[in-house]
């Protein structure tokens, strides 16, 4: 390879590597969506407090499940924002920070997929529980399809975890500090 061709190759490689920063605005958009969910949570909490005189336990339980649902979606957003940014854009350099999530030190694309799949199962479980609590307001067909969708999420998560286990080299999930080359 001549010098000119080598320089062009490095320039193209650098441009491709820099293109990862095009994802940064997407993560900023998800942070804004997180703010929308905080607003939604506060609104639902206000309705719960306002309607606390309602004697029906079912009404209160459905409202609390709605709050849990919002929190679980917000948790999913945090996993995508932090894990995705760290995996695909740039390191956050949080080593030693007391609030660094434990899972962040060994996150990769495969682990992130499994974590997201299990978060979706949790969200789906809340929706399914809300349906079962208020089953009189749902058709048998709607309940059937909601259960089938939930089971599909469960099967997908098991399959993703199995694939991740098969493709992972033992000891490959070291922290980034452990993976850094040591001066010898």
Whether residue 63 is contained in a domain is answered as: yes
Output the pLDDT for position 3: 72
Whether residue 98 is contained in a domain is answered as: no
Round to whole Å and give the CA distance between 27 and 6: 34
Per-residue pLDDT of 138-167, as tens digits, reads 999 999 999 999 999 999 999 988 888 888
What is the count of structural domains for the chain?
Answer: 1
- Lowest-confidence range among 5-9, 18-22, 148-152, 167-171? 167-171
* Mean pLDDT across 8-19: 86
Task: Work out the mean pLDDT of the chain and round it to a whole number.
Answer: 84
Whether residue 182 is contained in a domain is answered as: no
Give the DSSP per-residue string, 126-181. HHHHHHHHTGGGS-HHHHHHHHHHHHHHHHHHHHHHHHHHHHPPTT----HHHHSP
For the entire predicted model, the pTM comes to 0.72
Residue 58 is part of which domain span?
21-92+105-174
């Amino acid at each position: 390879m001549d010098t000119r061709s080598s320089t062009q190759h490095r320039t193209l490689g650098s441009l491709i590597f820099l293109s990862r920063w095009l994802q940064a605005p997407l993560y900023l958009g998800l942070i804004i969506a997180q703010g929308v969910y905080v607003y939604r949570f506060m609104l639902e909490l206000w309705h719960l407090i306002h309607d606390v005189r309602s004697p029906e336990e079912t009404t209160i339980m459905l409202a609390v499940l709605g709050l849990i649902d919002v929190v679980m979606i917000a948790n999913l957003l945090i996993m995508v924002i932090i894990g995705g940014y760290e995996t695909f854009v740039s390191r956050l350099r949080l080593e030693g920070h007391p609030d660094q999530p434990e899972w962040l030190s060994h996150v990769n694309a495969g682990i992130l997929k499994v974590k997201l799949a299990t978060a979706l199962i949790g969200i789906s479980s809340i929706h399914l529980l809300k349906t079962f609590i208020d089953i009189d307001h749902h058709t048998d067909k709607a309940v059937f399809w909601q259960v089938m969708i939930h089971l599909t999420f469960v099967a997908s998560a098991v399959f993703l975890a199995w694939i991740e286990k098969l493709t992972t080299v033992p000891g490959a999930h070291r922290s980034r500090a452990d993976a850094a080359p040591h001066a010898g």
